[in-house]
Chains A and B, each alone.
Chain A
Amino acid sequence: MATETIVLTGVDRGARPIGERLHDWVVTVDHKKLGILYILYALLFLIIGGIEATIIRIQLIVPHNHFVSPQVFNRMFTMHGTTMIFFVVMPMLFGFGTFLIPLMIGARDMAFPRLNAASFWLTAFGGILLYFSFIGGNGLYGAGNAPDVGWFAYAPLTSRAFSVGHSTDFWTLGLLVSGFGSIGTGVNFIATILCMRCPGMTLGKMPLLAWLNLVTGGMVILAISPLTAAQIMLSIDRYLGGHFFDTQAGGSAVLWMHFFWIFGHPEVYILVIPAFAFASEIIPVFSRKPIFGYPVMVAATLCIGFISFSVWAHHMFTVGMSSYGNTFFTMTTMIIAVPTGIKIFNWLGTMWGGKIQFTAPMLFCIGFLFQFLIAGLTGIMLGASPFNWQLSNSYFVVAHFHYVIVGGILFTIFGAFYYWFPKMSGRMYSETLAKWHFWLFFIGFHLTFDFMHIPGILGMPRRIYTYEPGRGWEMWNLIVTVGTIFQIAAILVFVFNLLRSLVKGEPAGNDPWDAWTLEWSASSPPPEYNFATIPTVRSRRPLWDLKHPEDPDWKYE
């Protein structure tokens, strides 16, 4: 493949007035700007969600604490969960996907740029609507303001009878609106990846990040809809006198659970698969080897995507399903561990025989591997139905899913931040500060979430604003709370690093990591049109081929 490098002189436009630049950001349909908007939005809510978590932990640091009232506490855990899932992790992942996918597949933008913008603003508005509940949700006395029904809002607690006022409706409507945004993003991801790849990039040659986001997109359009449907039904119950979940009229509380978890379980895979995508891009580059077993990684992801729609009732093992039902869902839950485990082995296989560089992105991905392994194993424990009868709804579960979402997903998100920050901003971050971030967060994470398993084993349920002394839970809750201090410190270091590097960082150049996918051929940050000429590729690592013309990938793939 013949190549030549053309030096393009950037046009010097001079500083434009701030109003114009802000307006640019508000009306943009450029996937890069929208991606960054998603990420910044998510970062803001990460901090808000973190404050909610801190309030929870302070309240639980000793038994019978009076830091906040039960009503406030119940709002805190509801908002914390809802915020983190819908307004932090999802937008964060969609943001990275939106920014990266066109660049990685050699396209100029997403398939539907205006839909892209609409999706972002719908998501953003949904979050604002949810948070407006703090001010606007007041109904009758005792109704509270922000929703306090838990992030999965089980019926009939959410019925008019038990959730007076409008707090539940803010939950319903905020998520309904942002759900439409998510579906839009899912449609966009699918259409972009299937229809906009550059010449030569067959499905078998696109970066794993593209594959995994394709699967995620497919899951989004199939999984968010059940939640949308259930929320419409809930609103019909609450406002039109419907009886979908009205147990007094013969309705079923369990039906809500089924509908919610048919969304809820694929949802957590929607959260984790893009995290896998980050790891699949970062680990090879810093091991200096291609990903081990690309076809198997794709197949495993497809399997995970499909099987994830068949495991949902493992969240319902205690509701009194028959032994056949429980057995079936135990089986599917354990089966899904197999492709997941295969992925871990493939990442290890990538690192094996490599020359590992412990840059910040790689450190976070190694942390991810370690923690996701543990999370997966506690998941297997929870998948064994009888064991689940003890552990479900306890702090063991809370520890498990935080291990997945924080120890797994958030770690890869941090890795992705550091890995692509140079591309997005044109500057390098401070590696020293990043390492401080990593170690502080690692220590804080483990202090909090390792020890959190123990109160669960000792019988402590979740969603309780206080607990009895003398049950052996005090010391563990104390340690768990102490861990949050380190995590807060780490986040502060992280944000400081980002802000400082934006202003004072070294210019990054196109390809600071000596990486191999197409985004590193564009400038940092890329021009609005991404590529001067749409590239043609011949292998999965087009830049490797360019840099190693004597030994290109396409000879071996």
Chain B
Amino acid sequence: MSSAAITRPSIEPEWVLPSRGRVGMFSLIAAEAAIFTIFVVAYIFYTGKSLSGPMPKDVLKLPIFNTVCLLSSSLTIHLAVRALRNAKVAVFRLWWFATIALGAIFLFGTGREWHHLIFDEGLTINTNLFGTTYYSLVGLHAFHVIVGLIALSIAMIFTFLGKVKPEHSERLDVLSLYWHFVDAVWVVVFTVVYVVGR
């Protein structure tokens, strides 16, 4: 047997709190940002400190096309969510698919770049400090792109099954926050690795 003291709600102003999903996603993004920061710090710290082996300026080329693809995917995902919010499910599907495609192109491009670096330039993760920090940082980012693509693909599957409705736009907006974060990280990685560090 239990007794509970309850209060009778009087006429109160509306009680509005932030959305759980958004706060949760921002917190996750903060944690991930901290991990990336450490890898970026390591990269910057070790710039120019390799004792041997290929140096960044010898082997790195600006991945312009890849970058354009990835950053555009931020735009397409934004358009997708906006379309869903306006109940344009078909348009949403189009832009969402474009996002996945652009992300996949980015990954493929990274794969090609790595293939070239490993087999043509002889740069691997254990070649020197540059190799270690480069593959770790770019690889960590690529890993997050993969995770993002998996999540986006699951949403795509649900879309094809007809289960995604305009009322889900909030949730997909939260997911898109993750994708924007991945793109933002790429801006930092691109700047540090391909621009400043070369």
Contact = CB atoms under 8 A, between A and B. Distances in A.
A6 B4 contact: yes
Interface of A: 1-10, 111-112, 115, 183, 186-188, 190-191, 194-197, 199-200, 217-218, 221-226, 228-230, 232-233, 236-237, 240-244, 249-252, 255, 259, 262, 510, 521-523, 527, 531-533, 535-537, 542-543, 546
Contacts of A186: 27, 31
A491 B3 CA distance: 35
Given A186-B27, A187-B31, A523-B3, 17 more contacts: A2-B7, A2-B10, A6-B3, A8-B4, A9-B1, A195-B17, A195-B23, A196-B17, A197-B17, A226-B35, A242-B132, A244-B132, A250-B49, A250-B51, A259-B38, A259-B42, A535-B6
Contacts of A251: 46, 129
A506 B166 CA distance: 55
Contacts of B187: none
Nearest to B34: A225
A240 B126 contact: yes
B4 A5 contact: yes
Contacts of B1: 7-10
B30 A522 contact: no
B162 interface: no
B45 A111 contact: no
A10 B37 CA distance: 53
B6 A241 contact: no
B33 to A, nearest CB: 8
- The 9 tightest CB contacts between A and B, nearest first, are A241-B126, A523-B2, A225-B34, A229-B38, A221-B31, A199-B15, A242-B132, A187-B27, A225-B35
B32 interface: yes
B136 interface: yes
A222 B12 contact: no
A455 B28 CA distance: 44
Given A187-B28, A221-B27, A523 B7 contact: no
25 contacts: A5-B5, A8-B4, A183-B28, A186-B27, A187-B27, A187-B31, A188-B24, A191-B23, A191-B24, A191-B27, A195-B20, A221-B27, A223-B34, A225-B31, A225-B32, A229-B35, A229-B39, A233-B136, A237-B132, A241-B125, A510-B3, A522-B2, A522-B4, A533-B7, A535-B7
Given A187-B27, A222-B30, A111 B7 contact: no
Contacts of B9: 199, 536
B126 A4 contact: no
The listed residue with most A CB atoms (<10 A of its CB), out of B24, B37, B45, B46, is B24
A527 B15 CA distance: 25
A225 B129 CA distance: 22
A183 B32 CA distance: 10
Given A8-B3, A522-B4, A532-B6, A221 B132 contact: no
B7 A536 contact: yes
A3 B140 CA distance: 55
The listed residue with most A CB atoms (<10 A of its CB), out of B15, B27, B50, B129, is B27
B54 to A, nearest CB: 14
Contacts of A233: 39, 42, 136
Nearest to B38: A229
B28 A243 contact: no
Interface of B: 1-10, 12, 15, 17-20, 23-24, 27-28, 30-32, 34-35, 37-39, 42, 45-46, 49-51, 124-126, 128-129, 132-133, 136, 140
Contacts of B128: 243, 249-250
A527 B27 contact: no
Contacts of B49: 250
Contacts of B126: 240-243
A75 to B, nearest CB: 28
A536 B4 contact: no
Contacts of B39: 229, 233
A342 B2 CA distance: 40
Given A196-B17, A242-B126, A190 B23 contact: yes
Contacts of A228: 35
Nearest to B136: A236
Contacts of B136: 232-233, 236, 242, 244
A293 B32 CA distance: 35
Contacts of A197: 17
A542 B5 CA distance: 11
Contacts of B45: 252, 255
A550 to B, nearest CB: 17
A81 to B, nearest CB: 22
Contacts of B42: 233, 244, 255, 259
Contacts of A222: 30-31, 34
Contacts of B12: 199-200, 536
Given A3-B5, A4-B8, A242-B136, A200 B15 contact: yes
A255 B24 CA distance: 31
Contacts of A510: 2-3
A7 B31 contact: no
A232 B39 CA distance: 10
A255 B49 CA distance: 13
A253 B39 CA distance: 16
Nearest to A223: B34
Contacts of A5: 3-6
Given A191-B27, A222-B31, A532 B132 contact: no
B129 A243 contact: yes
B53 to A, nearest CB: 10
A52 B194 CA distance: 50
Contacts of A225: 31-32, 34-35, 38
A124 B114 CA distance: 38
Contacts of A196: 17, 20
Nearest to B32: A225
A226 B19 contact: no
A110 B124 CA distance: 45
A407 to B, nearest CB: 31
A477 B15 CA distance: 60
A49 B73 CA distance: 50
B4 A236 contact: no
Contact of B132 (A199, A224, A236): A236
Contacts of A241: 124-126
A510 to B, nearest CB: 7
Contacts of B28: 183, 187, 221
B51 A249 contact: yes
Nearest to A524: B2
A533 B6 contact: yes
Contacts of B17: 194-197
The listed residue with most A CB atoms (<10 A of its CB), out of B5, B35, B133, is B5
A532 B20 CA distance: 23
